[in-house]
Structure 1
Amino acid sequence: MTAPPSPSAPRRRPHRPGGHLVGAYGLLGLTALLVLIFSLALPRTFPTLDTVDSILSNQSIPAVLALAAMVPIVTGAFDLSLGYGLGLAHVTVMQLVVNDGWPWPHACLAVIVGGALVGVLNGVIVVFGRIDSFIATLGTGSMMYAVTGWITDGGRIVPGPQGLPAAFTDLYDSTFLGLPVPAFYVLALTAVLWLALERLPLGRYLYVVGSNPRAADLVGIPTRTCTVYAFAASGLIVGFAGVLLAAQQQIGNPSVGLDYLLPAFVGALLGSTAIKPGRPNAIGTIVAVAVLAVGLTGIGQLGADFWTVPLFYGGTLLIAVGLAGYAARRRLRSGAVAARDAPASAAPPGPPSSPTQDGGAAGTPS
């Protein structure tokens, strides 16, 4: 008797590396395209070292804040208190240095530690209070704005005739290797977050918590602790951004932090469509900030009206949210297809071995 025909192997979909490359590096290509377009349109002003220095310097704080927004998004949460926390941090530094006479290193360290504690508070309220992160962080942000107004009494903190210590203002104004120092802060922070999220167990835990909290609980990942850690890291980064903002502005303005909230979320959400589409990541966030920086700089040099900036950010935010959702769904679909089409890793079990006369298994020594 002839053996029955073996079942045909499952048909796999053809691998398309081009689509993956476009999704991962499309924003980099868009950045290069924008640079080319503005260089051709503005040959005397855009492709210059002054423009490069301006972008690296002016976009450092938005980049740091976008990285701060990115960390809670990894866990599926949002921190809307970022702008309020930035405003509180920078006026607190000015208050401690100008009015209270603290040495600037102590004031900066206190503000950064205080930012981390505020982040822990946000995480505890979200996780243990079981309050949606939008509502919880909006509430704590409003309270931080009230504290900012109480510190400044509704006015500005202006240094005396002697000004601020030169070493403090050099945190933002100095250069290294011919480039603004804040650009190196951004690079260092990006490297730290990339290492923590992509190479350390804690980062993998955060991604699992963000993708499927129930599954994270089932495999023993401390989801609540991880979420608090994410908010704490975000608050610490916001405190550092507040120090940079104080060194840049050299004046305590209680309302300036709110201007950075929308750019931070646009960068973080748009960044989840680059490098590793479908998941927030540090390098993708920096690429997104670069796209925004080049676009805004080019628009500004073209002489656009002031209202084009919020229009640009608002439209980009809508596009970013849509692309992030599409990338996440595509990532889930590709994972499901790969799991369905993958061949079985183990060979099908053979017939059970027949027992021997003395009770041992066949083929085994008795």
Structure 2
Amino acid sequence: MSASPPSSTSPSRQHRRGHAGQLVSTYGLLALTALLFLVFSLLLPRTFPTRDTVDSTLSDQSIPAVLALAATVPIVTGAFDLSIGYGLGLAHVMVMHLIVNERWPWPWACLVVIAGGVVVGALNGVVVEFGRIDSFIATLGTGGMMYAVTGWVTGGGRIVPGPQGLPAAFTDLYDSRFLGLPVPAFYVLALAIALWLVLERLPLGRYLYVVGSNPRAADLVGIPTRRYTVYAFTASGLLVGFAGVLLAAQQQIGNPSVGLDYLLPAFVGALLGSTAVKPGRPNALGTLVAVAVLAVGLTGIGQMGADFWTIPLFHGGTLLLAVGLAGYSARRLRAGAGASRDAHTPPPEPSSSAPDGGTAGTPP
């Protein structure tokens, strides 16, 4: 009998197809950013591709970017911190309260607020892990408490500086420039690189990923899952405190309800970022790319004169897309790992029994 024809899908073709799919998953969001920039530049040639637009985008999206990085760290461990919006509101109000009402020097006010963010983040982690409460419920509860403290500090109103205004050195934290670009963009870049180094290059980051992917396996190999989850929430609180300082320097007024506006964009950036650079898992550089996509899209939509309701529509739709893509990337990653194991598993030995009951190589 003639040999059967080779399969139409050869291993080399499968390999090339898988490699192409991996490239699309890894760099697809980055390509989408460039495509959106090109489209809006063609549609709005006089206003979009300008230095002013780039500067305003880098400045305006710096706080959402920092908050998205803050949301990313607990997600690495499989938890969600819904208190980050409330924490942002409390942090920026406390900065304004200490500088305006208590007459503190602004460096001390900023340091105390950032340290307070660390404490609040650690408490969130303790409530989640040692209180055995789901992270959604726990952080929603602590967020409500932070919102109450914000209202108590402000009395339900706004904190407005006196005629002398805020110290120039404090407002320069947001308004100054470095190498011709807004300095908040360099804050975001530095934080993203630092977080990438911790998550991708240090044992701490590898442990966090293990805790998030398989807590039981982490326990079996001796990783203290509770402690590392608390570490993740603590890092999130640190970033939220820093974002609150930036928000106070930007707005120069204490608004008790402003932090909630940043909650949805932060999670959109964090979840969408898990589909880029390292598809299938949250990562700092992916979050940065996702924030860039959102920034370009929102800037273009705004310059086209869209109504105010298009912004939450854009964020909500992108969030659904992000969750769907994140789930798809995770399934693809698991499938690829399974296929790799199957490829390295040797085929079973042929049975020594002949079909007619004799032994192979022995006449019946």
For residue 317 of structure 1, the aligned residue among 316, 319, 330 is: 319
Structure 2 SS opposite 1:66: helix
* Aligned CA distance change for structure 1 residues 336 and 12 (closer, same or farther; 3 Å): farther
Q: Distance in 2 between matches of 1:324 and 1:267?
A: 12
Q: Distance in 2 between matches of 1:82 and 1:277?
A: 24
Task: Please say if 1:81 is aligned against 2:93.
Answer: no
Q: 1:341 Cα shift?
A: 1.0
Q: 1:343 Cα shift?
A: 4.8
1:12 and 1:341 in contact (8 A); partners too? no
- The root-mean-square deviation of aligned C-alpha atoms, in Å, is 1.1
Q: Distance in 1 between matches of 2:328 and 2:279?
A: 9
Q: 1:336 Cα shift?
A: 1.0
**CA displacement, residues 261-280 of structure 1 (integer Å, 9 cap, x when unaligned):** 00000000000000010000
- Report percent identity of matched pairs: 80
**CA displacement, residues 276-332 of structure 1 (integer Å, 9 cap, x when unaligned):** 100000000010000000000000111111110000000000000010011011111
**CA displacement, residues 116-144 of structure 1 (integer Å, 9 cap, x when unaligned):** 00000000000000000000000000000
- Structure 1 equivalent of residue 141 of structure 2: 139
Q: Distance in 2 between matches of 1:189 and 1:48?
A: 26
1:112 and 1:236 in contact (8 A); partners too? yes
Q: Distance in 2 between matches of 1:332 and 1:112?
A: 38
Q: Distance in 2 between matches of 1:54 and 1:300?
A: 12
For residue 261 of structure 2, the aligned residue among 259, 262, 269 is: 259
Q: 1:17 Cα shift?
A: 1.3
- Structure 2 equivalent of residue 281 of structure 1: 283
- Structure 2 equivalent of residue 3 of structure 1: none
1:88 and 1:147 in contact (8 A); partners too? yes
Q: 1:86 Cα shift?
A: 0.1
Q: Distance in 1 between matches of 2:320 and 2:247?
A: 27
Q: 1:340 Cα shift?
A: 1.5
- Structure 1 equivalent of residue 359 of structure 2: none
Q: 1:83 Cα shift?
A: 0.3
- Structure 2 equivalent of residue 230 of structure 1: 232
> When the two structures are superposed, what TM-score results if normalisation uses the length of structure 2?
0.91
Give 4+ residue runs of structure 1 displaced > 6 Å after superposition: none
Structure 1 SS opposite 2:256: coil
The within-5 A match list for 1:287-306 is 287-306=289-308
- Give the AA of the match of 1:50: D
**CA displacement, residues 157-180 of structure 1 (integer Å, 9 cap, x when unaligned):** 000000000000000000000000
Q: 1:186 Cα shift?
A: 0.2
- Give the AA of the match of 1:17: H
Q: Distance in 2 between matches of 1:342 and 1:93?
A: 58
Q: 1:342 Cα shift?
A: 1.4
- Give the AA of the match of 2:175: D
- Structure 2 equivalent of residue 152 of structure 1: 154
- Structure 2 equivalent of residue 161 of structure 1: 163
- Structure 2 equivalent of residue 24 of structure 1: 26
- Structure 2 equivalent of residue 123 of structure 1: 125
Q: 1:100 Cα shift?
A: 0.3
> When the two structures are superposed, what TM-score results if normalisation uses the length of structure 1?
0.90
- Give the AA of the match of 1:291: V
Structure 1: 5+ residue runs without aligned partners? 1-10, 349-366
- Give the AA of the match of 2:197: L
Structure 1 SS opposite 2:160: coil
The within-5 A match list for 1:62-211 is 62-211=64-213
- Give the AA of the match of 1:32: A
Q: 1:12 Cα shift?
A: 5.7
For residue 214 of structure 2, the aligned residue among 209, 212, 215 is: 212
Structure 2 SS opposite 1:322: helix
Task: Please say if 1:39 is aligned against 2:7.
Answer: no
